[in-house]
Amino acid sequence: MPIPSILSVTPSSGPTAGRLLVELVGSGFQQQTVRADAVGRTAVTSPGVRVRIGDRAAQDVRVLAEDVLTCVVPAGDPGRADVVVQNLDATGAPVPGELAIARDVFAYVRQPLAVEADLTRLVRALLQELKRQVIDNVVLTVHTDFEADVGAELHLATIARLPALVLLGPELAEDRFFSLNQPPELATGPGQFVQRRVPYTVDLSFTVIGVSDHTTELLNLMAATQLFFHRNPYLALDRDPGDPDAGSVRYEMDVARDGDLRVTSQPNASNVRSFSGRAVVRGFDLEDLAGFPEEGAVARGAAAEVVVVPPAQPLRSTSAPGGQRP
């Protein structure tokens, strides 16, 4: 076998958490070896190569051809790392001299937290619909330093004017009802596909708080908020904001169980009144880390050729003499 070489690594950067599928293009990659066991009955497969990213072994190494292989990157520290390919013999031992090292060709990057992700777009879509259908003064907050049982939630957000609707959250909880059972496959080109990791499906729950300094206004706001979730059983979101032809996806949305809206404020000096409840958006898939669109891929390949089977010819009936069937 010739000495292996590495010409490219795609993608050339990924999250420090690893679990990124990369493709190595080069030459001289040893194919896996299939051999029989000691009694000659069971096929035993030995890996053809060993791949290291930095000082850690890559996972799920697959040699697709003598010049192409894929592997899953392990976790690593921020910064650039070497990629090493070592050919192995039939027993899985390294072949002396059959080693390729590409210096600093892969970069580990911490997940950027300031980029917009699908989760951000979903929360913004909920806020936009509440502003459009209920009241334009809607505030989102993630403050948690208050005691809900004493009415201190009125101080959790800076409210410029009243009346107002405040959303606290979201809280994420795993949802096994809407989760998939197998990795989805997506077409990436003529005859090509990518298999993606089974997404982690969650529900997003929000505490909904309405605030006003007039009783009638507060009750009307509470009714409008309740009707919003009754009349909008789904929250729609574009699959890809950069591709209008990609369509949209809908998520179930309603008031959470035991989360009905109710007046919660107590008499106070400011005469501010409030109601609160809980709403939930169900079945959201956390597929990729924000900023790493390829992080969810676990395998790539070519589709098998389509075999066209001609339709079967209809059977011709035969009749016995006299017009009777045999």
**What are the tens digits of pLDDT across the range 59-79?**
989 998 899 999 999 999 999
The tokens for 259 are 């989360």
Q: Please, what are the domains in the chain?
A: 5-109 (2.60.40.10), 118-302 (3.30.2000.10)
**Nearest of 29, 80, 28 to residue 53 by alpha carbon:** 80
Q: How far apart are CA 142 and CA 258, in angstroms?
A: 22
Going by pLDDT thresholds of 50, 70 and 90, the confidence category of residue 147 is very low
- Partners of 69 in the beta sheet? 24, 63
What is residue 308's predicted lDDT score, i.e. its pLDDT? 46
pLDDT category, 229, cuts 50, 70, 90? very high
Number of Cβ within a 10 Å radius of residue 50: 18
User: What confidence score (pLDDT) does residue 273 get?
Assistant: 86
Reduced to 3 states, what is the DSSP secondary structure of residue 163?
A: coil
pLDDT digits (tens, 9 = 90+) for 88-108: 988 889 999 999 999 999 999
CA distance 17 to 144: 28
CA-based end-to-end distance of the chain: 69
For 53-67, 73-87, 108-122, 160-174, which range has the lowest pLDDT when averaged over its residues? 108-122
pLDDT exceeds 70 at position 309: no
Query: Residue 251: beta bridge partners?
Result: 235
Would you say the pTM of this structure is higher than 0.85? no
Exposure of 99 by Cβ count < 10 A (0-12 exposed, 13-18 middle, 19+ buried)?
middle
Of residues 297, 279, 230, 251, the one with CA closest to residue 119: 251
Which amino acid is located at 143 in the chain? Answer: H
What would the DSSP string read from start to end of 227-286? HHHHH--EEEEES-TT-GGG-EEEEEEEEPTT---EE-----TT--EEEEEEEEEEEEEE
Q: And the tokens for 276? A: 């609160």
